[in-house]
Amino acid sequence: MPRGELLASLSDEMLARRAQQGDSEAFDVLVVRHGPALLRFVARTYPERAEYDDIVQETFIAAWKGLPSFAFRSQFRTWLYSLASRKTVDAMRRRRRDFDIDDVPEVADAGAGPVNERWTVISLRR
């Protein structure tokens, strides 16, 4: 049986253990196995279609980097989806922070309302 077929027949946990030991082919199988479902997961929770692939890629990068400390207290799939959830939230925060000032509607001048009048009086007294 070719190595690729053998790897594809293993459970997520077995593949993750192999990947922990540096087997990048085992990790590739996990990416192929979970990539499409992660993309759908991100699509349900994130509004910007153009960034779906980036979020999934960031998730897999975090998984690869985090594998050495993954202790198998949960299923690999559960851990992977929690990473995807965090990466999606991070993207939402970046998106909120990076808005374009031109996208903000102009607010009509409120004029000299009571607060502005009071501030003017206080400023003039000084």
Report yes or no: 26 and 15 within 8 Å, Cβ to Cβ: yes
**pLDDT tens sequence across 35-62:** 999 999 999 988 888 899 999 999 999 9
Mean local confidence (pLDDT), 97-120: 57
The total of other beta-carbon atoms located within 10 Å of residue 55's CB is 22
Q: Which domains does the chain have, with CATH numbers?
A: 3-99 (1.10.1740.10)
78 to 42, 65, 68, 89, 122: CA distances (angstroms): 15, 17, 16, 17, 60
Q: Identity (one letter) of the amino acid at 93?
A: R
Torsion of CA 108, 112, 116, 119, to 10 degrees: 150
Q: Is the pTM of this model over 0.75?
A: no
